[in-house]
C-alpha cells in the first residue's frame, strides 16, 4: 500500500515506526506543520497534492480536531482513497457523512484507534456484531480521568492536584475540558454504540457529565459505601422496540467490580452479547505507541482487503435515555424540591435517589449548572 500521512506528532511517529520496515507498505508523503525529513518520503504542506496522486491508495489522518480534518478526509474518500484515522471527535461528529462517502466511493474507512488505544475493542465489537446480538457495552474509556480519580482515591490527592499531576505527566491537555467534562469518553461511547448496535447515534444526544466538580467528600462518600468512583461510558439496547440508550457519567462501583480495579491510565471495555456472554478487554488507553499500533493494524486490514465492516449499517436512531432507570448519588450546593422528591437516603455529603431515568438526572444537572449552582452526581451500581 502507498500511504499519505497527515500529521507527524507522537502518533504519526508511532505509525511510521511500526510500519516503515514492512515491504508491503510505502510512505510516499508526510504532511506536517514542521518540516519532516524521512528517507524516501516527500514532505509537503499541500494535502491536495496527495489527493491528486493516483499512486496513493491510503490516507492516514492524524491531525485531530474537526476542521480541516473533516475536509481532508472527505476529499480523500472522494478521491477513492482508503482512510485510516485516530480522530474520534471527527468520527463521532461526522459518522454518517463519512461512512456514506466511503461506501459511495468503494473504499475503506477505519478508526480502530479512536477507542481503547491498542486494545482490539472496535474490531471485537464488529466481529461480535456480525454474528451475534450485542445487548450492552460499558467501560472505563478515558485514561486521563481515570488517572485523576485513581490519584484522589488511592493517594488522597485533591482534584486540582491530581489534574495538575496528570497535566505535568502529559496525560491531560493544558485545556483539560475534553477529558474532565467527559467529552472524550462520550465520543468513544458514541462510536462504540454505532459499531456495536449497527446504528448511527447523534453524539449530541449522548447525555454526558464529567468529573470537573468531584471533590474529596464525594470520593469519601463512595468509599464509605464500599464503592469506587469511575467515569463510565455505557450503551444498551432497551425498550420493546429495540431502542438504544447511551450516556457517560461518573459511577460509584462496588469495590469488587472489574472496572474498580482499573488503575492509572488504563481502560477496561466490556460487552455482553448473545452466545458469548460478557467479554472484557483491558489495556493501556491511548498513548502514542498504542494509538500508532492501532492505526497500523487498520492499515494492514485495509492492505489485506479486510474491507472494514465498521460501515455496514446505518440505521439512524434517537437515543431513549429515559428508558433506563438508575439510582444516583447527588451532591447539590443547596436544596431543591425536584431532588428532595426523588431522595431515598441522605448520605454524608449528598443524597441517594430512588431509581430515576438517566435523561432526567442529566437534564437536572444541566439545569443546575446553567443556574450557576454546583452539582456532582454519580450513578450508584
9 binds a copy of itself (CB under 8 A): no
Q: Which residues contact 311 (CB under 8 A, 6 or more apart)?
A: 99, 102, 103, 109
Q: How far apart are CA 15 and CA 2, in angstroms?
A: 14
DSSP type of residue 211: S
Q: How far apart are CA 164 and CA 30, in angstroms?
A: 34
Cross-strand pairs, 109: 83
Q: Which is nearer to a copy of itself, 45 or 256 (CB)?
A: 256
Question: Count of residues binding a copy of itself (CB under 8 A)?
Answer: 36
Q: Is 188 a catalytic residue?
A: yes
174 binds a copy of itself (CB under 8 A): no
Q: Determine which residue in the list 35, 39, 45, 305 makes contact with a copy of itself, applying CB under 8 A.
A: 305
Cβ 139 to a copy of itself, closest distance in Å? 12
In angstroms, the Cα distances linking 152 to 50, 232, 285, 372 are 47, 17, 19, 25
Q: How far apart are CA 121 and CA 195, in angstroms?
A: 10
- Phi/psi-derived region of residue 264, left when phi > 0, alpha when psi is between -120 and 50, beta in every other case: left
For strands 343-346 and 199-201, give the pairing.
unpaired
Residues numbered 108 to 127 that lie near a copy of itself (CB under 8 A) are: 117-120, 123-124, 127
296 binds a copy of itself (CB under 8 A): yes
4 binds a copy of itself (CB under 8 A): no
Q: Which stretch binds a copy of itself (CB under 8 A): 52-60, 240-248, 297-305, 353-361?
A: 297-305
Q: Which residues contact 162 (CB under 8 A, 6 or more apart)?
A: 147, 148, 149, 151, 152
Question: From residue 197 to residue 236, what is the string marking binding to a copy of itself with x (rule CB under 8 A)?
Answer: ----------------------------------------
18 binds a copy of itself (CB under 8 A): yes
Cβ 152 to a copy of itself, closest distance in Å? 19
Please, what is the Cα angle at 281 between 271 and 91, to 5 degrees? Answer: 70
SS3 262: coil
Torsion sign over Cα 69, 70, 75, 76: positive
DSSP type of residue 311: G
275 binds a copy of itself (CB under 8 A): yes
Q: Determine which residue in the list 135, 284, 312, 322 makes contact with a copy of itself, applying CB under 8 A.
A: 284
Given a contact cutoff of 8 angstroms between Cβ atoms, the answer to whether 60 and 84 are in contact is yes
Which is the catalytic residue, given 81, 88, 188, 230?
Answer: 188
Q: Determine which residue in the list 169, 276, 316, 340 makes contact with a copy of itself, applying CB under 8 A.
A: 276
Q: Determine which residue in the list 43, 135, 282, 338 makes contact with a copy of itself, applying CB under 8 A.
A: 282
277 binds a copy of itself (CB under 8 A): yes
Q: Which is nearer to a copy of itself, 289 or 357 (CB)?
A: 289
Given a contact cutoff of 8 angstroms between Cβ atoms, the answer to whether 222 and 229 are in contact is yes
Given a contact cutoff of 8 angstroms between Cβ atoms, the answer to whether 324 and 238 are in contact is yes
Q: Determine which residue in the list 52, 65, 130, 374 makes contact with a copy of itself, applying CB under 8 A.
A: 130
φ and ψ at residue 83, rounded to 5 degrees: -125, 130
Q: Which is nearer to a copy of itself, 87 or 290 (CB)?
A: 290
Within 13 Å of residue 111, how many CA atoms lie on the same side as its CB? 28
Q: Which stretch binds a copy of itself (CB under 8 A): 35-43, 170-178, 271-279, 316-324?
A: 271-279
Q: Determine which residue in the list 304, 316, 333, 341 makes contact with a copy of itself, applying CB under 8 A.
A: 304
Length of the chain: 381
Cβ 313 to a copy of itself, closest distance in Å? 16
155 binds a copy of itself (CB under 8 A): no
Q: Which is nearer to a copy of itself, 188 or 352 (CB)?
A: 188
Residues near a copy of itself, by CB under 8 A? 14, 18, 117-120, 123-124, 127, 130-132, 256, 258, 261, 270, 275-284, 289-290, 292-293, 296-297, 300, 304-306
The residues that are catalytic are: 188
Amino acid at each position: 500500500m502507498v500511504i499519505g500521512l497527515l500529521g507527524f506528532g507522537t502518533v504519526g511517529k508511532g505509525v511510521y515506526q511500526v510500519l516503515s520496515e514492512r515491504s508491503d507498505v510505502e510512505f510516499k508523503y508526510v504532511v506536517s506543520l514542521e518540516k519532516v525529513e524521512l528517507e524516501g518520503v516527500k514532505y509537503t504542506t499541500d494535502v491536495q497534492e496527495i489527493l491528486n496522486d493516483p499512486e496513493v491508495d491510503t490516507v492516514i489522518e492524524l491531525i485531530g480536531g474537526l476542521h480541516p480534518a473533516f475536509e481532508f478526509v472527505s476529499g480523500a474518500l472522494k478521491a477513492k482513497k482508503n482512510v485510516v484515522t485516530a480522530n474520534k471527535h471527527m468520527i463521532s461528529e461526522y459518522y454518517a457523512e463519512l461512512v456514506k462517502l466511503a461506501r459511495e466511493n468503494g473504499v475503506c474507512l477505519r478508526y480502530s484507534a479512536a477507542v481503547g488505544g491498542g486494545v482490539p475493542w472496535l474490531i471485537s465489537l464488529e466481529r461480535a456484531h456480525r454474528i451475534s446480538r450485542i445487548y450492552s457495552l460499558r467501560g472505563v474509556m478515558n485514561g486521563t480521568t481515570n488517572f485523576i480519580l485513581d490519584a484522589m482515591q488511592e493517594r488522597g490527592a485533591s482534584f486540582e492536584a491530581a489534574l495538575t499531576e496528570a497535566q505535568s505527566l502529559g496525560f491531560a491537555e493544558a485545556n483539560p475540558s475534553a477529558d474532565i467534562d467527559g467529552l472524550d469518553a462520550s465520543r468513544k461511547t458514541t462510536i462504540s454504540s454505532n459499531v456495536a448496535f449497527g446504528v448511527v447515534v447523534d453524539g449530541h444526544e449522548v447525555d454526558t457529565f464529567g468529573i470537573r466538580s468531584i471533590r474529596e467528600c464525594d470520593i469519601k462518600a463512595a468509599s464509605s459505601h464500599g464503592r469506587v468512583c469511575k467515569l463510565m461510558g455505557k450503551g444498551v439496547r432497551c425498550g420493546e422496540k429495540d431502542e438504544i440508550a447511551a450516556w457517560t457519567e461518573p459511577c460509584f462501583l462496588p469495590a469488587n467490580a472489574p472496572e474498580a480495579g482499573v488503575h492509572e491510565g488504563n481502560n477496561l471495555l466490556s460487552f455482553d452479547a448473545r452466545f458469548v456472554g460478557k467479554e472484557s478487554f483491558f489495556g493501556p488507553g491511548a498513548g502514542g505507541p498504542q494509538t500508532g499500533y492501532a492505526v497500523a493494524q487498520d492499515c494492514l486490514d485495509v492492505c489485506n482487503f479486510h474491507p472494514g465492516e465498521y460501515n455496514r449499517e446505518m440505521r439512524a436512531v434517537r437515543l431513549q435515555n429515559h428508558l433506563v432507570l438508575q439510582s444516583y448519588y447527588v451532591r447539590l450546593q443547596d436544596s431543591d424540591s425536584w431532588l428532595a422528591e426523588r431522595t431515598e437516603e441522605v448520605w454524608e455529603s449528598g443524597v441517594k435517589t430512588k431509581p430515576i431515568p438517566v435523561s432526567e438526572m442529566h437534564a437536572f444537572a444541566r439545569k443546575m449548572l446553567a443556574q450557576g449552582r454546583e452539582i456532582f452526581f454519580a450513578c450508584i451500581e
